[in-house]
Structure 1
Amino acid sequence: MSKKTWAALAAIAAISLSGCASTATQNAGTSSSGGSGTKVSIMVGGLNKQIYLPFMLAQRLGYYQQQGLNVTLQDEGAGVDATTNMVAGKVDGVGGFYDHTIAMQGLGQQMESVVSMLTTPGEVELCRNEVKDKIKSPADWAGKNLGVTDIGSSTDFLTQYLAQKNGVDPAGIHRIGVQSGSTLIGAMQHGNVDCAMTTEPTVSTLMATGTAYILLDMRTADGTAKQLGGEYPATSLYMTTDYVSKHPETVQKLVNAYVETLKWIQTHTGADVAATMPADYYAGSGKDAYIKAFDNEKGIYNPTGIMPPTGPPTNLKVLQAFNPDVKGKAIDLTKTYTNQFVQASK
């Protein structure tokens, strides 16, 4: 993440956090579970991405209301921007990659994952077919335009790490924030980026049109270990430690809903998911491609919600390789996540 981005986050972090659950602003990217229960607002770094499926799926299955919660989900193009909004007290939690809790601790901000939803990133590096003879691995990235969801996002973290791991100085690549979905697809089709890191259903959409080829794939445990050296816990619900300590009952209810959702995922197919989710979630890729993508990558979902014990050290290793706000810092990983709510869930 750039110094400018982190400086902005640090400045926002100085704002005192509200002790009460936030009330979300209604807009086109907002969805509420309704009901008269406890209000909670969660901002998700791409609601229609399959890597963030549990957040909307829990709403569609009625699990929030069953727990006595009125959850508002807000859509945001990148996890780093969602984190900024949470630090500013605009939302109560973030649906994003766990690694942000580590990065923020490097800046003196305490956040923690309360439930782990993905044991692998589910990310794929796609490149335009026009550069197939020029880019055969990240070792060929020097001077290239690389798409990430946003500067400071988890895809930005991973892109910089993969560049450095393959002998390319991260300062020598051009990282461009293209978010996901239609904006990323447009950037790829118009040649604004040579490669981009993204997830389903965007991967299937680009592959179906013959626009791109897969450079590397982190949708499986083996693929993740090959690129990152081990498990890399990704999607989670993370919140400020202050919020968690002040609202343990609300956090427990949220975790209960997500543990049930993760169990549901394990016993259902892509067709079941597509039938449950809003139709616009698969409008771009098509329903059949959406179903196939889910069935192919179903293994990315954490079946229990427990943080994989060997995962956090891998996340830390990746960030320490290039991020000046984490490199050389004494990071206490035990403060970046908790399993207590998952263990107490019934």
Structure 2
Amino acid sequence: MYTTKVKFRAAIALTSAVMMLTAACGEDSSGSNRTVRFTVFTGATTSWGVYIADAMGFFKTHGVNIKYVSVGSGSSAMQVVASGDTDFALSDATITANASKTGLETQFVAGQFKRFAAELACQPGLTTGSYPESMRALKGKTIGYTAPGSGSDFYLQYSLMEAGVDPADVERIPVGGAPQLIAAYRATSVDCVTAYQPMQQELGDASVPINWQEGEGPAEFSDYLLNGVVASKKYIDGHEDEVRAVALAMKDAAEFASDPANAEEIAKATVKFFPGSNTTDLAAIAEEIADAYTYSVTEQQVASAAIVYKAVTGEDYPLEYADIVAEPARNIIG
């Protein structure tokens, strides 16, 4: 379980509505100054790689300005991509597959995390023991998660299945982003929630039947395509320079964040993205999740996602590896 005692009181004040923020990035040595719109999850560490690329100047180095478009979940991020109201978004391989079935063709420009920095947090005393036995106490219980088809939805369902629990035997409730999940948990309107940072410490002495961040759960989640950077194929085809710039910036960010020695510097640079937090707590989390970063999109990650997708949906994964990786970024992230 997480050992860091983090106080992120601002998490309950976040909104899952779309809002526009602007963060300034300068020009690179070539004089390029391209602006891209980037969808993230406000105030959550699931967006941290992007925040690091911004705050540490990696986007600036590669000549792009960032304008943020914030949403509450991966599935809603894809809706913003489909509407053309953003250029880049955070998504995973299963959400990308679902989008393709609606006619939205997206590709990965970069990886960000290869593991879910999250846990399933349940009301105190609800579960005991460790995975997979701990999950069997969830039969008949209510579990809040972000949205249908989201990464947290697939993580939850597949983890239940691999523990021998039919997802139909629990009541899964799409609640929304971090503020809504925290509120539902505190009101005891749900027994458990999928809790990513900075939610965990807001929930106090929750019982934790599975901690994905610590490597608990199905083997497929040990190397998984989670919260990478995607763009629509239409955008990619017309903006190859921007795609390469973002891929290179995310590569720089992942390599920097993967070194625990950089945790304090990361905390100081990105604390502005986490209202109500402090650099001491952020540094502890940054060190804790350092080994979860990646900029690559590998065939193994896609293969793992295909297994999960088939198990949860009953359908074959509709995309090949070659369909998923953006051509302008292939030699950077492939």
Normalising by the smaller structure, the TM-score range is: 0.7 to 0.9
2:162 aligned residue: 165
Cα offsets for 1:261-318 (capped at 9, x unmatched): 122213443322211113461626x54333222212211011xx22233111111111
Q: Mark the CA change 1:339 to 1:137 in structure 2 (over 3 Å): closer, same or farther.
A: farther
Given that 2:267 and 2:286 are in contact with CA atoms closer than 8 Å, whether structure 1 keeps it comes out as no
Question: Does the 8 A contact of 1:77 with 1:179 survive in 2?
Answer: yes
**Corresponding position: 1:341 with 2:329:** yes
For 1:83, the equivalent position in structure 2 comes to 78
Q: Which runs of 5+ in 1 are unaligned?
A: 1-26
User: After superposition, where does 1:1-346 map in structure 2 within 5 Å?
Assistant: 30-33=21-24, 37-44=33-40, 46-132=41-127, 137-206=134-203, 209-210=204-205, 212-220=206-214, 222-223=215-216, 225-226=218-219, 228=220, 230-267=222-259, 268-279=261-272, 281=274, 283=276, 287-302=279-294, 305-323=295-313, 327-328=315-316, 330-338=318-326, 341=329, 343-344=331-332
User: 1:329 deviation in Å?
Assistant: 5.6
Q: What are the superposed Cα offsets for residues 190-244 of structure 1, whole Å, 9 maximum, x if unpaired?
A: 21221111222222333xx32x122111214x43554x36521212111112211
Deviation at 1:86, TM superposition (A): 0.4
Structure 2: runs of 5 or more not aligned: 1-17, 28-32
Sort the Cα spacing of 1:233 and 1:344 in 2 relative to 1 into closer, same or farther, 3 A. closer
Q: Match of 1:192, SS?
A: coil
Give the letter for the 1:273 counterpart: I
Contact 1:225 1:231 in 2 (8 A): no
Residues 280 and 259 from structure 1, CA distance in 2 versus in 1: closer, same or farther, beyond 3 angstroms?
closer
Once residues 239 and 245 of structure 2 are traced to their aligned partners in structure 1, the CA distance between those partners, rounded to angstroms, is 10
Normalised TM-score (structure 2) = 0.82
Using the TM superposition, name which of 112-121 and 126-135 deviates more.
126-135
Cα pair distance change 1:323/1:50, threshold 3 Å: same
Identity across the alignment (%): 17
In the alignment, the residues of structure 1 paired with residue 255 and residue 210 of structure 2 have an alpha-carbon distance, to the nearest angstrom, of 29
Once residues 80 and 265 of structure 2 are traced to their aligned partners in structure 1, the CA distance between those partners, rounded to angstroms, is: 33
Give the structure 2 partner of residue 12 of structure 1.
none
**Relative to structure 1, is the Cα distance of residues 287 and 97 closer, same or farther in structure 2, using a 3 angstrom cutoff?**
same
**Conserved in 1, the CA contact under 8 Å of 2:135 and 2:160?**
yes
The 1:101/1:307 distance shift into structure 2, 3 A limit, reads same
Moved more, 265-274 or 185-194: 265-274
For normalisation by structure 1, the TM-score amounts to 0.79
CA contact (8 A) 1:98 1:238 kept: no
Deviation at 1:51, TM superposition (A): 2.7
| TM-superposed deviation, 1:43 | 0.9
Q: Which amino acid aligns with 1:232?
A: Y
* Bigger mean CA offset, 114-123 vs 271-280: 271-280
Amino acid at match of 1:73: Y
Q: 1:315-338 deviations in whole A, cap 9, x for unaligned? A: 1111111225xx146432321224
Deviation at 1:87, TM superposition (A): 0.9
For the aligned residues, what is the CA RMSD? 2.8
Helix, strand or coil at the partner of 1:269: helix
